[in-house]
Structure 1
């Protein structure tokens, strides 16, 4: 496995378009299926270890993979800064992002997921590992993207590792929910942020997407919605052509 850090801020619309043009095209369907062909244990009880913490996963709750760990590591090392800020962990799953944000002193944490059991699991892990911290308001929330957020929400930081794989990798609806909903979920993500003015003026979106998804379409939609992307990290793996990108996106008027 290789791990590469990429740089390059898109500080203008032309820069953003140049970055978009540099991104790889979506992999062919057979390659996507080969990358995502491992058998799923999602209907079993499992455990997951990270940073000395052990998380228990009931059936139906997704275990973080390599791309999720990219986000976790960047939260933990402060690249994604949450201390004193309002933070939304979208698709929170078992709750690693929420636990990290709580231990680092986020002012407010939305632990949001469309799956009620995932939200309950994240809340349980947060209570056990972080506990009650008066300086942090913890908000576990069952929500389809931002639909369950109150109108007054203004977010300083949003992270999202969407299930945007472009090919249907399973007939199991639980696997589909966690892996291969497709690009539309990310397009709606951008549209809801803009329509509801959810991002604070200096707010930041951290989005991880690979070329198993419609990468160019997703980033292009973000640019058209008024965001400027920066590649914080690019990761590749030996044995296939998958490339995963961690993007930081800010509003163009904040550049």
Structure 2
């Protein structure tokens, strides 16, 4: 007789290996630096437009780019479902994810960032656009990853577009914090979720990582930590070899 649970677990492991084997190698340092060579304006006051919303960015708050919009668009169209769910926007920055989650009817929104000014900006943006919404609790949180989260969080949905670029692209610590901390921050992200059991049993993580980071190492670590990766979207750009992936990561079935 076939053990269905064991068979399902084996199939899941095989699927995870297939995803890993299909991922590209990390780009050479020279290519990474060329892709990230644009002059930063992060120390100036700026604005950002997304759909019908306009956001004010004070100095030091990161302006969302193309990879952030992969998450924003899929929160808005429901591909990343948050209605009635507990949602954590990690590295919330300006607060676009929190605003979308509020308009989509999330039950609880953790707007978390290590940068206090970003959390303050996200809070102000949320109050202006969403405001007090019946059935939704907004929880701004200055936190290094999940350090300040309550153990009882029980998150249904987590999104993260980490600053995982593998080459140091600047000597400016603000740029480093937003762009090129490296793979370690994502490894700690998964370790904290597992160690503190922060993800609800049927919850999912939505992670954006490109081959400017140690892509295979990051996804491999997630698999070892007990998560099943699924590629929801792969984004490329004309003129370079960058490939950005939006992964959905859920728990392996238990055997």
TM range (shorter): over 0.9
Q: Match for residue 182 of structure 1?
A: 182
Q: Match for residue 30 of structure 2?
A: 30
Check whether the contact 1:202–1:254 (CA below 8 A) recurs between aligned residues: no
Q: Match for residue 65 of structure 1?
A: 65
Q: Match for residue 7 of structure 1?
A: none
Moved over 4 A (4+): none
What is the number of residues matched between the two proteins?
246
C-alpha distance in structure 2 between counterparts of 1:75 and 1:227, whole Å: 21
C-alpha distance in structure 2 between counterparts of 1:245 and 1:39, whole Å: 25
Check whether the contact 1:99–1:130 (CA below 8 A) recurs between aligned residues: yes
Check whether the contact 1:210–1:244 (CA below 8 A) recurs between aligned residues: yes
Matched, 1:236 2:236: yes
TM (norm. structure 1) is 0.95
Displacement of 1:18 in angstroms is: 1.5
Displacement of 1:134 in angstroms is: 2.3
Matched, 1:51 2:65: no
Check whether the contact 1:62–1:178 (CA below 8 A) recurs between aligned residues: yes
- Map Cα deviations across residues 136-158 of structure 1 (whole Å, 9 max, x no partner): 00000000000000111100000
C-alpha distance in structure 1 between counterparts of 2:51 and 2:239, whole Å: 28
Displacement of 1:11 in angstroms is: 5.4
Check whether the contact 1:151–1:196 (CA below 8 A) recurs between aligned residues: yes
SS in 1 for 2:253: helix
SS in 2 for 1:12: helix
C-alpha distance in structure 1 between counterparts of 2:33 and 2:21, whole Å: 25
Q: Match for residue 163 of structure 1?
A: 163
Check 1:11–1:73 CA distance in 2 against 1; reply closer, same or farther (3 A cut).
farther
SS in 2 for 1:253: coil
C-alpha distance in structure 1 between counterparts of 2:240 and 2:151, whole Å: 43
Q: Match for residue 100 of structure 1?
A: 100
Please, what is the CA RMSD of the aligned residues? 1.2
Check whether the contact 1:48–1:56 (CA below 8 A) recurs between aligned residues: yes
Q: Match for residue 132 of structure 1?
A: 132
Q: Match for residue 18 of structure 2?
A: 18
Displacement of 1:190 in angstroms is: 0.3
Check whether the contact 1:42–1:60 (CA below 8 A) recurs between aligned residues: yes
Check 1:221–1:155 CA distance in 2 against 1; reply closer, same or farther (3 A cut).
same
- Map Cα deviations across residues 70-112 of structure 1 (whole Å, 9 max, x no partner): 1000000000000000000000000000000000100000000
Q: Match for residue 205 of structure 1?
A: 205
Check 1:11–1:97 CA distance in 2 against 1; reply closer, same or farther (3 A cut).
farther
